[in-house]
Amino acid sequence: MSRLLSYLCMLLLLAGFTVLAEVRFPVSDSSLPKTAAQTWGDKSPKVEIKDGTQISTLNGDRKLGYSSIETNEGRCDSNSCIADGSLRLPETPDFSTPSDAIAISINGNITLPRPQDPTGSVYKVNGEAKLDGKNLTLTAPTTLYVGKLTVQSGGINEGGNPDDLVIITTGDATLQNSNVSAHIFSNKYLKIDGGSVNGTVTTDQLLLDASGVINGDEPTPPPSDLTCRITGNNQDFVVEFDVIGSNNVNYKDIVFEGGNESDTLWYNQEFQSGADYIFNEQRLASGQNYKLRIEVERGQGNDISRAHYYWVQGGSKVFQESKDADIKNGTITGTGVGLETLECYNEDVEPPEPDLPEQCDVFPHAVQSFTTGTNITFDGGSAVTGTIDAGGRVGFETVNKAFDTQTACDNQECIADTSLIVGEPDVMDFSPGDTDLSPGSGTHNIDAGRYDTVALSSGTYYFTGTDYQIRSLSISGGATVYFKTGTLLRVNKMTVGGGSTLFSEDESTESLSIWLRTGRALMLK
């Protein structure tokens, strides 16, 4: 695809992907169970450990997190169990059901997560979850909230990793001759009547009977938030991260914090319209791996910074969108289930290469506009060549000539022909700055960036970058201007005259693209 000759018509380490999702515990990481069975706070519930039962504690010290054990007939490790109130959880578990929990019913064999749900899903059963000779199996980590739990001669995650399942019950829980691998939090009464629990139990009241077994397995806390730090107020920087899609059920975000400000560079749930929310992503397919990248061009002086969002596919960047981002120095924190890696570092950032339409689709003729009410004005010795059949017709509503007998179009009179007006192309993003530039005569470099007014006259000027956004550009007084190949010049108003000359590094159609934003007239003097 060729690019426009002149556009006159106008949110860690880099690692391999692994599927990772976590369960949700109803307590903070610092309050996770420290032994096989315990309660919380200052509670002193009824605890019965009947003869013939067995508990394997986490440290082999026979200690359970209760202030007392009413019936202590079974064995902890190799001897009688020991009540140790200091092992009670320091905080009360949160037994309230999260708002994003998915409602299901359980009264027979079931596999979680369901095929239509993401890894790491949270489920709720409003009434009783009952497995009578049936099994709950897992294919990925899951959190389950239930009102009442009854399992008889059945199994839950049998033989699996207890870190893959957290069960939170608000009512009674009864496990009879059943095998369960999970971390169980019960707000009421937990009865283990035969069978086994691999993991931990945290209960109000506990009854272990009929040769029941608790095999203590210390829970593994979920990974901490990922962080990296950006320094240097005037330096461009890059944020790159790996993430697993989750249909927006599991919230993820990349947040920048510096001083008193906080900006969310990237997030994946409901769109937020505030300026401190930048890139919203809701297209990630559940269970799919993505490498994402945000590049930030630091604003200089009073100019605001500019952020560019990419997907990285096969090692190549695929541009998604650009937005203003008023951020300075600080720490970048990535949170959420499925966020795998996070890395940030200083690196010079170039704006994304614009995706311009095919030249012939936009410029079928020598010069034209795409809307009514436009005009082209010729001053002095200006001229256009290449009109249709060299007949002088141009695609504007009005032609303003310097004098009545002027023949500036293929040595013919320039004639306005509205039938040559073309369809409006896609509008490009346009955000000029507030810097004025008037370097005067001599030789000067014009750096890439955003400007309010740029006046070039009687000198030689080199546009050293490839992306410019200028509200008003004037080239006059015999100025000579050089552009780099692939330059995109976005302007609101542009005037070229006074014997000025524009050059590009080569003569290809990709040398220079000019986009006139909202301007109604192009002045050729």
- d(C-alpha 226, C-alpha 223), whole Å: 8
Tell me how far CA of residue 278 lies from CA of 251, 334, 482, 521, in angstroms. Answer: 16, 15, 35, 34
Same domain (yes/no): 311, 445: no
Q: How would you classify the pairing of strands 213-216 and 289-297?
A: unpaired
DSSP 93-132: ---SPPTTPEE---SS-EEES-TTS-TT-EEEEEEEEEEE
Q: Which two tokens stand for residue 119?
A: 């890894």
DSSP 327-359: --SEEEEEEETTEEEEEEEE---PPPPP-PPPH
Same domain (yes/no): 176, 51: yes
Domain boundary among 159, 187, 216: 216
What 8-state DSSP symbol labels residue 360?
A: H
Q: What is the pLDDT of residue 518?
A: 53
Residue 240, domain member (yes or no): yes
Q: What is the pLDDT of residue 354?
A: 63
Number of domains the chain is built from: 3
Q: What is the largest CA-CA distance in the chain?
A: 116
Q: What is the pLDDT of residue 478?
A: 83
Quick count: other Cβ atoms within 10 Å of Cβ 423? 9
Same domain (yes/no): 327, 207: no
Specify the pTM: 0.49
Residue 384, domain member (yes or no): no
Same domain (yes/no): 212, 230: no
Q: What is the pLDDT of residue 8?
A: 25
Residues of the chain with pLDDT under 50: 1-21, 248-249, 519-525
What 8-state DSSP symbol labels residue 420?
A: G
Q: What is the pLDDT of residues 371-411, one digit of tens each?
A: 777 888 887 667 788 888 888 899 899 998 888 888 889 88
Same domain (yes/no): 262, 337: yes
- CATH number of 251's domain: 2.60.120.200
Same domain (yes/no): 447, 299: no
Parent domain of 65: 29-216
Scanning the structure block, which residue is given the tokens 């369809």? Answer: 423
Residue 136, domain member (yes or no): yes
Q: What is the pLDDT of residue 183?
A: 98
Same domain (yes/no): 141, 230: no
- d(C-alpha 386, C-alpha 6), whole Å: 15
Domain boundary among 276, 311, 346: 346
Domain boundary among 313, 346, 379: 346
Residue 10, domain member (yes or no): no
Q: What is the pLDDT of residue 351?
A: 86
Residue 389, domain member (yes or no): no
Q: Which two tokens stand for residue 26?
A: 């109803």
Q: Write out the E strands in 153-288.
A: 155-156, 165-169, 173-209, 213-216, 226-230, 237-244, 252-258, 261-267, 277-280
Same domain (yes/no): 112, 175: yes
**Is-contact 29 222, C-beta < 8 A?**
yes
Residue 362, domain member (yes or no): no
Q: How far apart are the first and last CA of the chain?
A: 32
Which of these, 82, 47, 42, 43, lies nearest to 62 by C-alpha position? 82
Same domain (yes/no): 140, 93: yes
54 CB-side CA count, 13 A: 10
Residue 103, domain member (yes or no): yes
Q: What is the pLDDT of residue 511?
A: 63
Q: What is the pLDDT of residue 524?
A: 43
What is the number of residues in the chain? 525
Same domain (yes/no): 161, 68: yes
Q: Write out the E strands in 337-448.
A: 339-346, 375-378, 393-394, 398-400, 415-416, 436-437, 442-446
Q: What is the pLDDT of residue 185?
A: 98
Same domain (yes/no): 247, 321: yes
Q: Which two tokens stand for residue 112?
A: 């979680």
Cβ contacts of residue 111 below 8 Å, gap of 6+?
136, 137, 138, 139
Q: Which two tokens stand for residue 185?
A: 């939090």
Q: What is the pLDDT of residue 295?
A: 95
Q: What is the pLDDT of residue 192?
A: 98
Any bridge partners for residue 449, and if so which?
A: 468
Same domain (yes/no): 110, 64: yes
Tell me how far CA of residue 297 lies from CA of 238, 309, 326, in angstroms. Answer: 9, 12, 10
Tell me how far CA of residue 356 lies from CA of 119, 324, 509, 515, in angstroms. Answer: 39, 21, 12, 10
Any bridge partners for residue 175, and if so which?
A: 151, 192
- d(C-alpha 207, C-alpha 70), whole Å: 10
Residue 403, domain member (yes or no): no
